[in-house]
Amino acid sequence: MRILGIDPGYGITGFGLIEAERGRYRLLSSGVITTPANTDFPWRLSVIYQDMAQLLRQAKPDQVAVEELFFGQNATTGIGVAQSRGVILLAIHQAGLPVAEYKPVQVKQSVVGYGNATKHQVQDMTKRLLNLSAIPKPDDAADAIAIALCHARSSTSLLGQLRAGDA
């Protein structure tokens, strides 16, 4: 199964494409979609949408996993990220792909086994699970890869299968 993980943002949106098969994971590609600061916000959303639609066509994922919004201290930033998530979810929906959404604590729990894991712990475990020589860069791409791993580990668990059967 090809899983595309997305770490949404309006300045930088990270993505990571993995292949998951029988508890084995392989990184296929990763990177970021960027928009320049101090430019018209609707234009930035348009760039994110168009680049996401193109990424979905090129990557050909079977499923997509997107990080849920976490409102920290800056609500203004959170609103912009929420709008970015909206155009990302629209592109995924229009591509006809199933999407799963995960809270940051779920990603940490799934990848590290501890919901309060640090960013470095998540990145280090991502490197280990994928047998990589180094932690993926930039951080936004590494986060997106962790989201894809979270989905791979969650969707193949017995609990994930039971949830799917209940739907």
- 17, β-bridge pairs: 4, 29
Share of the chain above pLDDT 90, in %: 80
Report strand pairing: 2-7 vs 63-67: parallel
pLDDT tens track for 78-116? 888 899 999 999 999 999 999 999 999 999 999 999 989
pTM here? 0.89
Alpha-carbon distance of 166 to 145, in angstroms, equals 28
Name the token pair of 67.
């990080």
Confidence of residue 166 (pLDDT cuts 50, 70, 90): very low
Catalytic residue among 40, 51, 140, 166: 140
Which residue out of 21, 62, 67, 101 is catalytically annotated?
A: 67
Domain ranges of the chain: 2-166
* Residue 139 falls in the annotated catalytic set: no
The answer to whether the beta carbons of residues 143 and 161 sit under 8 Å apart is no
For this structure, is 67 an active site residue?
A: yes
The listed CATH number (3.30.420.10, 3.40.50.10800, 3.40.50.1370, 3.40.640.10) that belongs to domain 2-166: 3.30.420.10
